[in-house]
Amino acid sequence: MGRWSDKFIRAEKKWASWSMQDYPPEGRILAKIIEDKAKLKPHHVVFEFVDKKITFEQLNACSNQAANGFQSLRVKHSDNVALMLPNCSEFLYSWLGLNKIGAVNVPINIAQRGQTLVHQLNHADCVGIVIAQSYLEFLENIADQLTKLRFVIIVGNDGESSNISMAPTVENLHFDELMAHPQSPPQANINFNELASILYTSGTTGPSKGVMMSHHYWYDACATAVKLGRYTEDDIFYDALPFFHCASITLSIGPAILAEAKAVIVERFSVSRMFDDCRKHNCTIANYVGSIIPLLMKQDPRDDDGDNPLRMMMGAAAPVTIWNAFEQRFNTQLLELYGLTECIFSLFNPYENRRPGSCGKAISGYRVKIVDSNDQELPPGTIGEIITRPERPFVGTSGYYKMPEATLELTQNLWYHTGDLGYMDEDGYFYFSDRKKQAIRRRGENISSFEVEAALNGHDAVLESCVVGVPSELGEEEVKAVIVTKPGYSVSAEELIDWCKSRVAYFAIPRYIAFRDSLPKTPSERVEKYKIKNEGISEDCWDREKALKISMPVNIKS
């Protein structure tokens, strides 16, 4: 570990003598704050991409150019414009430029296709879209269904417009043309409590919903990350999460602006490259979601694993079974949080009193509790739904865009209903159990897919797994596990069953096991469980009950 052994002490000393510049409510607009930063620290590099470095002065100037460009396209206050881009500077210029004129950005998951893409663009009333050249074909395939679109701005293609198959009324231009406008601030009046963004949910349980986020909501979330993560101007963020995901903006992009720090940005997360990238750029903070922590632990050990500048990784769902081992191996700390796009950061594992496996305590300004199906609070140790309520104005979402019934369901009894199951211990620490709709009901027992996955992932041969419920001939569900093994490793279904026997309840042991080369994932590295669930009992499934009937006497039960 060498010279990095004191990185935590240095960070603590810096935090003790440093404080983030806070802004009054009316000034909590990130698109406006960069104007202030450009005056205070014009030459400070705030973002670093593979091919360029961006200072506060450049960020502000380019955002102004984009803002003036959008106004030239008749984009008005409260108009909605979609962004379908990978992690690139054009995304940030567009995102901030739209907000500078009071318009609303609508980040679109770059994996969206077909009717889901139609739904999001039409439902959000998008008057235009900024899109990467590589995704144009997916837009052209649905062009005849996009009746509200007025313009398409293309990023890429060497600065030339493309002859794309859109309606004659849809203007087509290249991003360079959008930027061919003055760097002077646009004329616009913006209030901190106005709508800044619409982020669409994954839509795994029905049509995806547009979460409305105000300027103040973004600011509060980013400022909370700075304060609870003890970020300072000395920090360098490693950001490999997609910009269209709120975690990237709230854990890296916004905090880099507010703390006057720097974010090193890559287009996609790479398990094999992450720590080398952090060493190369001297990154002190990295973020994680989903299976990133287990995947990093599954990499073959290296002599320099602990010789890295990272003092902290912040994110969600680090398995308790490998928490301490991860921190020791990589000489870094994990800081767990909990939240949804609808209510970011309602729980944080306290910096000085972290409890492995917990997603934390309620932060200042939020109330959180565990309730039953009638919203009655449950005692400590009892699993129920996690619900939360902000105690500060303009913090959580104001609802789902054009979906009043879904908004009422979300905010039933004036609490945000997360759809997550969990419990609270006697000390006020909360623990995630499973998504309410992903919990498995088998023969009268409730099963946490999250816990079964954690057990399976603990096997040396398993790289990652996905556990879902599939229909049972007896009613309710059976447990199905899809396994991806580590390169060069093998394991049988029978071995995994034996492995589970001492690690999960007997009724939670998978009946069906399938081996695959990979799991379907979103660009933010979340497993798309619904795809595996929807396929049911697939042909590649090994059936424990059938195997036992073949190999054992009939009177022996599984």
* pLDDT given for residue 485 in this prediction: 96
Angle at 431 between CA 499 and CA 340, to 5 degrees: 115
For the chain, list the domains and their CATH numbers: 57-189 (3.40.50.980), 214-435 (3.40.50.12780), 440-551 (3.30.300.30)
Of 70-84, 353-367, 431-445, the least confident: 431-445
* pLDDT given for residue 549 in this prediction: 67
Residue keyed to tokens 């900024």: 130
Of 56-70, 253-267, 468-482, the least confident: 468-482
CB atoms under 10 Å from CB of 338, counted, come to 28
Asked whether 447 and 436 are in contact (CB, 8 A), the reply is: no
Of 98-102, 115-119, 238-242, 303-307, the least confident: 115-119
Question: In terms of C-beta density within 10 A (0-12 exposed, 13-18 middle, 19 or more buried), how is residue 172 classed?
Answer: middle
Q: Is 60 exceeded by the pLDDT of residue 345? A: yes
Q: Is 80 exceeded by the pLDDT of residue 134? A: yes
CB atoms under 10 Å from CB of 24, counted, come to 7
Of 56-70, 235-249, 442-456, the least confident: 442-456
Q: What's the CA dihedral at 311, 317, 320, 321 to 10 degrees?
A: -100
Q: How confident is the model at residue 313 (pLDDT cuts 50, 70, 90)?
A: very high
Q: Is 90 exceeded by the pLDDT of residue 41? A: yes
Whole-number percent of the chain with pLDDT over 70: 94
**Averaged pLDDT for residues 165-183:** 94
Q: Is 90 exceeded by the pLDDT of residue 40? A: yes
Mean pLDDT (the chain, rounded): 91
Whole-number percent of the chain with pLDDT over 90: 75
* pLDDT given for residue 524 in this prediction: 61
Pick 118 or 111 by higher pLDDT: 118
* pLDDT given for residue 149 in this prediction: 96
**Three-state DSSP class for residue 282:** coil
**Averaged pLDDT for residues 84-107:** 98
510: CB partners within 8 A, 6+ apart = 452, 456, 467, 479, 480, 481, 496, 497, 500, 544
**Averaged pLDDT for residues 316-328:** 90
* pLDDT given for residue 76 in this prediction: 97
Residue keyed to tokens 């709230």: 250
Nearest-angstrom CA–CA distance, 192 and 101: 13
**Averaged pLDDT for residues 135-152:** 94
Q: What's the CA dihedral at 52, 56, 62, 65 to 10 degrees?
A: -170
In order of 6, 111, 115, 198, 524, the CA distances from 202 in angstroms are 41, 11, 14, 13, 11
pLDDT per residue over 513-543, tens digit each?
Answer: 999 999 998 766 778 888 998 899 999 999 9
**Averaged pLDDT for residues 446-460:** 87
Q: Residue 456: which of 484, 489, 435 has the closest Cα?
A: 484
Q: How confident is the model at residue 557 (pLDDT cuts 50, 70, 90)?
A: very low
**Averaged pLDDT for residues 62-76:** 98
* pLDDT given for residue 433 in this prediction: 85
Q: How confident is the model at residue 1 (pLDDT cuts 50, 70, 90)?
A: very low
Q: What are phi and psi of 310, to 5 degrees?
A: -65, 120
Give the side-chain half-sphere CA count within 13 A for 1: 14
